[in-house]
Structure 1
Amino acid sequence: MSTNNHYDVIVIGTGAGGGTLIHRLAQTGKQILVLERGPFLPREKDNWNTKVVFNSDRYHNQEIWYDKDGNELHPGMSYFVGGNTKLYGAALFRLREKDFEKYSHRDGISPEWPLKYQDFERYYIQAEKLYQVHGQSGEDPTEPFRSEEYPYPAVTHEPRLQEIHEALQAQGLHPYHTPVGIRLNEAERYLSECIRCNTCDGFPCLVQAKSDAEVTGIRPVMRQNNVTLLTEAKVLLLHTSPSGKEVTEVEVEVQGEIRTFSGDIVAIACGAINSSVLLLKSANDKHPDGLANSSGLVGRNFMKHVLGSIIGVSKKPNPTAFQKTMSINDFYWGEEGYDYPLGQIQTLGKVSKEALEGNAEAYAPLTPEQVATHSIDWWLTVEDLPDPNNRVRVDGDKIILEYTENNSESYDRLQTRWIEILKAIECGQEILPNCSYFVKGGKTYFTGKLPLDGVGHQVGTCRFGEDPKTSVLDLNCRTHDLDNLYIVDGSFFCSSGAVNPTLTIIANALRVADHLIQRIK
């Protein structure tokens, strides 16, 4: 091992949490070491190649994890500077005020958070400014309080989506513009970095117009003298002092060489799964069950949302390119006759025939091209309840996700309800005569549920709280058991809500950064 190198702060991971934390801490002038297990994602034509992006591991890791029954999982994780945000859809929602409170679901209780919405609101504002979020307040009846308007205007619907927007309003619903973090200037397109293409949601952005953690957080500070970025640097273990009260060394494999570093502060931001894996693998005599695990909760209460898609095919073509502009929260807290929350609906990035060709038989007698050119594509998000039996576990080098889905009834009800509404607006406008397409009586709605491999919304494995017996982190996301160890990703969530977690991860990273700035002064 090489001689130790000491830093004021070591940050492990450069995704939504780590990238944001680094951006804020860089202003302090303190010496910061950034460790990222992956390289920079290459800018190449394949960034926009649907077959490469969706049918290969070019932009996902090739790890194999395992489920509770020993079956192989191929996780949809991206190990690059910027983490999973390199391929995310850039939908940046706030949790609702009630998401921070205790309330009942069909399958159990969503617990109260130790901090409330008002504790995060000013950081939501900062996060929206930093990640250039485009949105419009006042459209969504479930929208939480805002102290400021969105920093950028909402991304407009293309004509076909505007028709759907108006048809939904005619049904008494409240569609609103999805808040998205993109570098778009619709007023002066020639100045816009974003070109409103159809290769955004799920793709790397070749023109770097998506507000991911690399473009927004890392690149603006990576050349500062006080910031040292090491890529292809996989952290293997955290070593502690003899007392076990602090992390003294970070053991890293850097491009095949084992090196160690030390820091006054160590912040883990590897994502809720890999942060837990690192803590569990770093077990020692003082921490026999893994670092920061005196509560026994490290890795437990893993949540990933109950997620799925609806591809709705209509007779009228849908030439929309940038489709991810509409969301509906009318069923977020339930509906008449059902007192439990259902979830959120939003448009997906537009599907293409290339994306569907790998499973062409599922759409027969329609062809992938017929489906893609006439479909409107939707994404459903239902809250995943915390369950201590849903956990991340390690067995040697094996990563195991022990997970049983909950709230399935709520998901099925939301899916059925949404298809009924789509049929009503389609048939009502005679876009779909007799609710059929090219083939009379043919299937026009294709549904799919995201399997366990899809872990893009991972949260909850090291929840925060005031009691060390019932939480892993304190309110500043410092581990209860080690004085200089923090976790700054989605691990701290107490519940998952029913919207994408990324903006809350970003806002919390800014909140923790303010605490650390005061500490390292």
Structure 2
Amino acid sequence: MQTYDFDLVIIGSGAGGGTLAHALASTRRRILLIERGGEVPSEPENWSPAAVWKDLRYRTSERWVDGDGLEFQPYTHYNVGGNTKYWGSVLYRLRREDFGEIAHRDGVSPAWPITYDDLAPWYDIAERLYHVHGEASADPTEPPRGPYPHPPVPHAEAMQPVIAGLQRQGLHPSPLPLGLIDPGLPGGCELCNTCNSFPCRIHRKSDADVCCVRPAAAAGVTVWTHAQARRLLTTRDGTRVEAVEVDREGQTIRVEAPVIVVACGAVNSAILLLRSATTQHPRGLANSSGLVGRRYMAHLATMMQGFHPLRVNTAVFQKTVAVNDFYLRGPGVPYPLGQIQSQGRTHGLMAKVVGDTWFSGRVTWVPEWAYDAWVARGVDWLAMSEDLPRDDNRVTLTEDGRIRLDYTPNNVAAHEQLVVEATRMLRRLGAWKVMTASHRAKNTTHQCGTLVFGHDPVSSVLDPYCRTHDIPNLFVVDASFFPSSAAVNPGLTIVAQGLRVADHLRRTDLRLPEDAAAGVAPAAAQRT
């Protein structure tokens, strides 16, 4: 078996791993970034609804099983940049209140071991790194802060009456914070209608690949693609991780490093730790608390469309508006409901993929042109509520080694109330009919919470810098660390914490200022 030596190994190239690699690239340490998939090719299919939504060209073909043992295909992607290649680039900070304990309709959202002020400087850097456009003063829930690095993306002309209508309702529509590179400028983002769930063919969406992995590789970080980490290998006494067992191009390779960072996403990071069980760690690595894989969360999310048969929506890029009036408190109730945000345009084929499964059995008789006519007369929205942590919402391994996701959404009553409020909002805007669709118990987007961070090793897996309590040289930097899910997109918080952890590693485990000054060589050494 070939063995490679590095100073730092990062497993996963998404918002956490890709950002961490970029943040440490200048240190001249020997850094290896491992990605189980390959690069997403720039090709016509990037912007093809048929390729992305019908053929599922870029999604994993892997099958997970649910709590009833039934197979399903998760919405997840294995490629450089991870799921950020397909996000809609809505990059929100958590609200200040999200870091404290909040009473909800169906339970309590726990406090974080860090505060908003602890993360605020890293949010600033994250927004610059990911080219975030926004306007702080317009959002009633935005914490006090400096200006965004870029002005908000202008609203399409067809969205102006919508915004005016929302204001007449007494609501406070605000610009969505969007990570886009030079939107509307020559050579920049084209503000097209294929952003949500599509990879950007021209690389002008702020994903981890474009913003972090490519610059990190240019700065000397070694990137392995089509390389899957199978297990973490510990020392004989189980006190440290000494290597990663990697399947690469049909070979099993051993990669050694004094510091290992897992950044595979909330599901796969937990699975990797569970799969790496040893005699000293029979329930999986870093699992003395018994919480590895538990407290899985995914936002309660309902896609909505306000439809009117006589109004053709001429907006191409309509994903620019948010309504946060119900984020901290709903009308007449003392608990939060969540957020409403406009979405990218739905294509007829995308609607058909969903619509054909609305009835018992599989109905395919509605022609695509009918869906085209329907979505052309609609404005698309998302209602999103916080999912609360529950121990029995968890990921585990089946006996044959597959991923099992036991998940039952909670805080459902508050989300249903939010959908009611959003429906009223759209009706007041003149919608003739409001259509809804939800992933429900199969939701694998915005996954978080399976390796919660905290101060107490009894009630958390990671410390506030994402170091595992049980194994001091093992870190996890993705949405696994979230104690609560909040009700905004998690991407920017993952990035900000990745930057914070990178700074911590510079000052502690890697002791990089002195080493960088001494001129440590960046090349990896191979042993046989």
Query: Is the Cα contact below 8 Å between 1:360 and 1:367 reproduced in 2?
Result: no
Q: Secondary structure at the match of 1:452?
A: helix
Match of 2:335 among 330, 337, 340: 340
Q: Secondary structure at the match of 2:423?
A: helix
Pair 1:337–1:224, CA change in 2 (3 A): closer
Letter in 2 for 1:406: N
Query: Is the Cα contact below 8 Å between 1:136 and 1:149 reproduced in 2?
Result: yes
Match of 2:490 in 1: 501
Q: Secondary structure at the match of 1:486?
A: strand
Q: TM (normalized to structure 1)?
A: 0.94
Match of 1:123 in 2: 122
Match of 1:99 in 2: 98
Match of 1:261 in 2: 255
After superposition, the C-alpha distances for 1:80-139 in whole angstroms (9 at most, x for unaligned) are 000000111000001111101111111100001111100000100000000000001111
Query: Is the Cα contact below 8 Å between 1:460 and 1:492 reproduced in 2?
Result: yes
Q: Is residue 332 of structure 2 the alignment partner of residue 357 of structure 1? A: no
Match of 1:230 among 224, 243, 250: 224
Q: Is residue 201 of structure 2 the alignment partner of residue 206 of structure 1? A: yes
Match of 2:439 in 1: 450
Query: Is the Cα contact below 8 Å between 2:86 and 2:196 reproduced in 1?
Result: yes
Match of 1:309 in 2: 303
Query: Is the Cα contact below 8 Å between 1:306 and 1:411 reproduced in 2?
Result: yes
Match of 1:483 among 472, 483, 493: 472
After superposition, the C-alpha distances for 1:343-384 in whole angstroms (9 at most, x for unaligned) are 000011101112223355669899212211110000111000
Q: Secondary structure at the match of 2:61?
A: coil
Query: Is the Cα contact below 8 Å between 1:87 and 1:202 reproduced in 2?
Result: yes
Q: Secondary structure at the match of 1:119?
A: helix
After superposition, the C-alpha distances for 1:244-298 in whole angstroms (9 at most, x for unaligned) are 1110110000011100010011000000100000000000001000000000000
Match of 1:440 in 2: none
Match of 2:320 in 1: 325
Match of 1:167 among 165, 168, 182: 165
Q: TM (normalized to structure 2)?
A: 0.93
Letter in 1 for 2:370: T
Q: Secondary structure at the match of 1:222?
A: helix
Q: Is residue 293 of structure 2 the alignment partner of residue 299 of structure 1? A: yes
Q: Secondary structure at the match of 1:506?
A: helix
Match of 1:177 in 2: 175
Q: CA deviation at 1:37?
A: 0.3
Match of 2:212 in 1: 217
Q: Secondary structure at the match of 2:218?
A: coil
Structure 1 segment 333-482 matched on structure 2, within 5 A? 333-359=328-354, 367-396=370-399, 397-426=401-430, 435=432, 444-482=433-471
Q: Is residue 502 of structure 2 the alignment partner of residue 513 of structure 1? A: yes
Structure 1 segment 185-196 matched on structure 2, within 5 A? 185-186=183-184, 189-190=185-186, 192-196=187-191
How many equivalent residue pairs? 500
Q: Secondary structure at the match of 2:77?
A: coil
Match of 1:278 in 2: 272
Give distance in 1, aligned partners of 2:53 and 2:343.
Answer: 15
Q: Secondary structure at the match of 1:221?
A: helix
Give distance in 1, aligned partners of 2:330 and 2:478.
Answer: 33
Q: Secondary structure at the match of 1:309?
A: strand
Q: Unaligned regions of 5+ residues in structure 2, if any? A: 360-365, 512-528
Query: Is the Cα contact below 8 Å between 2:65 and 2:403 reproduced in 1?
Result: yes
Give distance in 2, aligned partners of 1:382 and 1:112.
Answer: 17
Give distance in 2, aligned partners of 1:360 and 1:457.
Answer: 23
